[in-house]
Amino acid sequence: MTVKGIGIYCADVAASVAFYQHYLGARVAGQAGDVTTLELDGGGVIELIQLSAGDAEASIPDCDDGRDGFWHIGVRVKDVAPLSDELHAAGVGFFIEPVFNPVAKVWCAFFYDPDGTVIELVGGEQEYSQVFDAAAAERRKAVPLGDAALFEHVAFTTGDWPTCRARWEAAGYSVIGTLDLSEGDERGMLLYYLTDDKGLIVEVFTYTVATNPPLSPEARRGFAGILADPDTQAHLRLSAAGQLADGRTRYLDDAGLAVIDAG
């Protein structure tokens, strides 16, 4: 299984296309029905899925990094400050303002796209608290940065890391390393980074306290699902949770993480 990107339910696909083109250097790679596909540097894909008129009026879900399920996508940039300043000037909302992470040794910021999907900017070469795969860690650092943002990872939260790890390892992923942020977070935050050396990095947030329940599967606006290879269901033990307009099935794992067949 390889993670290729995410799908996003959009109130206005044209506005979202313009947003991703302007701020992240995205390129339109295709359009089929209500789905517009964007490509970003790094090979990551974002599918923008136009909502019906009624669903487009749905409110944007509150952001909660301690809730099971999808959390954000991460993009690497040469310098966080210029893009953050431009986003601020345009009135784009931030979940976390630009800040230096002394453990990871990077600058980061978290902002919202037009439908509330959280995007993390990462500036610099991340350090790990503990490295399990030194070669994979070096490959991650060595990816060259251009002028456009590099789509690097997809992040989600789980309250059951042992089960999560077993399933993702069965899907061909291994742990690169960890980032221990528990000293600055009373919830005991510990991050794991997974890779299959083919697609995007998977960043998993865990806590020593109980996580919050995932969003309702009926939620609209924002994140629709991780885009992954068709064999995802067998590895992650997913259950069907409806279909997209193009006929593809949307799946959920038992912690509320949605997955869509990337084709």
- Residue where the block lists tokens 């992923």: 173
Please tell me the pTM assigned to this model.
0.96
What pLDDT does residue 15 have?
A: 97
Architecture of domain 71-206 in CATH? Roll (3.10)
The CATH H-level superfamily of 3-60+212-261 is 2,3-Dihydroxybiphenyl 1,2-Dioxygenase, domain 1 (3.10.180.10)
Of residues 11 and 61, more confidence is placed in 11
Rounded to 10 degrees, the C-alpha dihedral 159/161/65/182 comes to: 110
The CA radius of gyration of the chain, in Å to the nearest whole number, is 17
What pLDDT does residue 255 have?
A: 86
Q: Does the pLDDT at position 263 exceed 70?
A: no
What confidence tens digit (pLDDT) does each residue in 113-164 have?
Answer: 999 999 999 998 899 999 999 999 999 988 888 888 999 999 999 999 999 9
Angle between helices 13-24 and 80-89 (to 10 degrees): 140
What confidence tens digit (pLDDT) does each residue in 217-242 have?
Answer: 777 899 999 999 877 777 888 888 88
**Span 200-205, mean pLDDT?**
97
Looking at the chain, the domain(s) classified CATH 3.10.180.10 span: 3-60+212-261, 71-206
Phi, then psi, of 12 in degrees rounded to 5: -145, 95
